[in-house]
């Protein structure tokens, strides 16, 4: 059996699905690995490094034709999808909510698709959880980037000439990315506040040294799977009042609030941004799904009376090596679960919640 991967469109995606250190693990399962030429050359990884670990380097068309399973970061282009044939498997972050037509086309070819962002949040799936591994890096990098655009020092500094106050940071959304952002901002000396619709986040935020902002009369808005769900209109009004008052003293806002498969909730309205101090920064990790800020524009930096609103589209392109290393391990753990090691073929056991939930039907 053969597992293959072709290079991504690096103008959009610099991460890769397979790193040299993971090739031996696939070989130990009894799988051959085929990669397209110059697979990760943009990351400084030559084809020879993959070959030394046991991978074969072929033309892109040959990889797509001969592989039983194709593993990618993102869904293939239309041109490459046309090259798939019946019985093959496609695994990656396929984003079925945005790529519905593409996936319908693939299904007519009888290609089995697995989208890793649909993984259930169960203990057995933790080692495969790409949302957590990638969000951890995103939360860290969002803090670093936003601080680089803030034109004051972050920690409190006491000097003979006077004292510089610590920067005040607000994290919107205390999921994996938000919690890492809190930890990173605290390590750099900021005073950190956080808000989330899930009351269970309060203890996690406070354990990292952040102050949790509680909306009066709030109820826990968390799904059984551990994700945030849509808030009521009454909750949103109370949240807006609390945030508007808080933002008067905040220097940097990092937005991370997302609801899987839906447009990002708009949490920071224009009238809230208007009360922020000149020189403040809003860094919106939810920009690709519309943004948590009303003024966010994907891929752009907007200036609103001296307040910068940064619409980050793919922050992990700024950490592609670290992100690829983690993604490749998540992907191997998922593929290993899908592969019958005794019979040496891919098996679709729909009684396995991991396989059943990630299969795009």
> Would you please indicate which residues are annotated as catalytic (active-site) residues?
121, 126, 129, 132, 227
* b/e 79-118 (16+ beta carbons within 10 angstroms → b): ebbeebeeebbbbbbbbbeebeebbeebeeeebbbbbbbb
- Residues 56/26, Cβ–Cβ less than 8 Å: no
Q: Residue 140: helix, strand or coil by DSSP? A: helix
Distance CA 233, CA 250 (A): 25
**Look-up of token digits 């030394």:** 52
Q: Residue 33: helix, strand or coil by DSSP? A: strand
Of the candidates 238, 246, 235, the one whose C-alpha atom is nearest the C-alpha of residue 272 is 246
Distance CA 142, CA 257 (A): 13
- DSSP for 180-193 reads HHHHHHHHTT-EEE
- Residues 149/310, Cβ–Cβ less than 8 Å: yes
- Residues 234/258, Cβ–Cβ less than 8 Å: no
The H or E element that residue 74 is part of is: strand 69-74
Beta-bridge partners for 83: none
Distance CA 45, CA 68 (A): 25
**Look-up of token digits 């597992």:** 3
């Amino acid at each position: 059996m053969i597992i293959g991967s072709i290079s991504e469109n690096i103008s959009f995606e610099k991460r890769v699905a397979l790193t040299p250190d993971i090739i031996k693990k696939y070989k130990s399962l009894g799988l051959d690995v085929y990669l397209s030429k110059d697979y990760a050359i943009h990351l400084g990884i030559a084809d020879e490094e993959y070959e030394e670990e046991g991978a074969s380097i072929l033309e892109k068309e040959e990889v797509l034709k001969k592989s039983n399973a194709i593993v990618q970061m993102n869904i293939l282009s239309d041109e490459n999808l046309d090259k798939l044939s019946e019985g093959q498997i496609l695994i990656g972050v396929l984003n079925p909510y945005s790529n519905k037509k593409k996936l319908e086309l693939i299904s007519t070819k009888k290609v089995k698709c697995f989208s890793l962002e649909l993984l259930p949040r169960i203990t057995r799936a933790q080692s495969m959880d790409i949302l957590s591994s990638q969000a951890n890096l995103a939360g860290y990098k969002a803090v670093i980037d936003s601080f680089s655009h803030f034109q004051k020092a972050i920690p409190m500094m006491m000097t003979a000439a006077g004292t510089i106050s610590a920067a005040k940071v607000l994290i919107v959304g205390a999921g994996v990315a938000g919690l890492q952002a809190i930890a990173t901002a605290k390590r750099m000396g900021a005073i950190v506040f956080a808000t989330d619709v899930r009351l269970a986040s309060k203890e996690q935020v406070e354990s990292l040294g952040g102050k949790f902002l509680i909306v009066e009369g709030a109820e826990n808005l968390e799904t059984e799977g551990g994700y945030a769900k849509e808030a009521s209109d009454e909750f949103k009004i109370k949240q807006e009042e609390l945030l508007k008052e808080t933002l008067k003293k905040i220097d940097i806002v990092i937005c991370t609030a997302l609801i899987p498969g839906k447009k990002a909730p708009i949490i920071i309205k224009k009238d809230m941004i208007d009360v922020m101090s000149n020189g403040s920064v809003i860094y919106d990790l939810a920009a690709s799904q519309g943004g948590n800020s009303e003024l966010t524009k994907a891929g752009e930096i907007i200036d609103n009376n001296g307040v910068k609103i940064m619409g980050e589209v793919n922050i992990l392109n700024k950490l592609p090596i670290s992100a690829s290393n983690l993604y490749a391990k998540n992907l191997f753990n998922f593929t290993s679960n899908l592969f019958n090691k005794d019979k040496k073929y891919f098996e679709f056991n729909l009684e396995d919640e991991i396989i059943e939930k990630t299969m795009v039907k």
